[in-house]
Amino acid sequence: MSEKNDDSLVISSDPLHPANLIPELCRSFYQLGWVTGTGGGICIRTGDKVFIAPSGVQKERIEPSHIFVLPYPQTDPSPHTDRVFLRRPALNLKESACTPLFWNSFDLRDAGSCIHTHSQHAVMATLLWPGPIFKISHQMIKGVRIAGTGRALSYLDTLELPIIENTPNEEDLKDSMAEAMIKYPNAAGVLVRRHGVYVWGADWEKAKTQTECLDYLFQIGVKMKLAGLPTVLNEEKLL
């Protein structure tokens, strides 16, 4: 495993620097109940560098000094491989277990950021939609973009999000997530049964916006299902 420990990569007075943004966003997601305990994660890619939150740290207590920096591209950032780091914290921390799944969003969607939440709304959606797809239409979904990085959807579009089955180890979701992204090229995220959701965007702002919009759609979709209401009025346009 090749690595350097360049602390200058995470020291900045700029509030929009990824090492400052990630702790701020994690605190926000904690308040929303998306990343309880140490679960969930976020990454931000800027050019040839990827900034990733640590694993095992309470999300509302993450500091810039906890952030990992990896080069992009690299062949396989999964555990048990010869990963390359530009910066590892001095503390005995591990980078997010989501790392290989984040890489799917970079390699397959050219994303600039990917967010993973354990939102209860997302989990409930995977339980009430027992098949491989979550669908909803005729809602205010224009904050979601085709493929997560394309044009915004409209009120008349039917949003589709693939659902994959969970595994005991998070990194083992990498291949099934990639398969779902290839099968559903217009999807802005991937749900994981009984687990949560991965959402990406061209940058952190768009990833955050789409995560918020999708969480709203999961919540209202679950309520509609439980009330016996159809969540799709027509299926002429599937996106």
Is position 195 annotated in a ligand binding site?
Answer: yes
- Please check whether residue 116 is in contact with residue 215, taking contact to mean a CB–CB distance below 8 angstroms: no
CB 34 within 8 A of CB 119: yes
Nearest CA among 107, 123, 113 for reference residue 75: 107
Q: Is 43 annotated as a binding residue?
A: no
Maximum separation of any 2 CA atoms in the chain, in Å: 56
121 annotated to a ligand binding site: no
Closest to 26 measured CA to CA, from 210, 208, 218, 169: 208
State the Cα–Cα distance between residues 30 and 32, nearest whole angstrom.
Answer: 5
138 a known binding residue? no
* Phi, psi angles (nearest 5°) of residue 10: -120, 10
Token match 């965007």: residue? 201
Tokens 């799917």 locate to: 104
CA–CA gap between residue 90 and residue 65 (Å, rounded): 8
Give one word for 228, left, alpha or beta, with left for phi > 0 and alpha for psi -120 to 50. Answer: left
**Cα–Cα distance, 78 to 237 (Å, whole number):** 36
Residue numbers in the known binding site for substrate are: 98
Name the binding residues: 98, 116, 118, 195
Instruction: Detail the residues annotated as belonging to a binding site for Zn(2+).
Output: 116, 118, 195
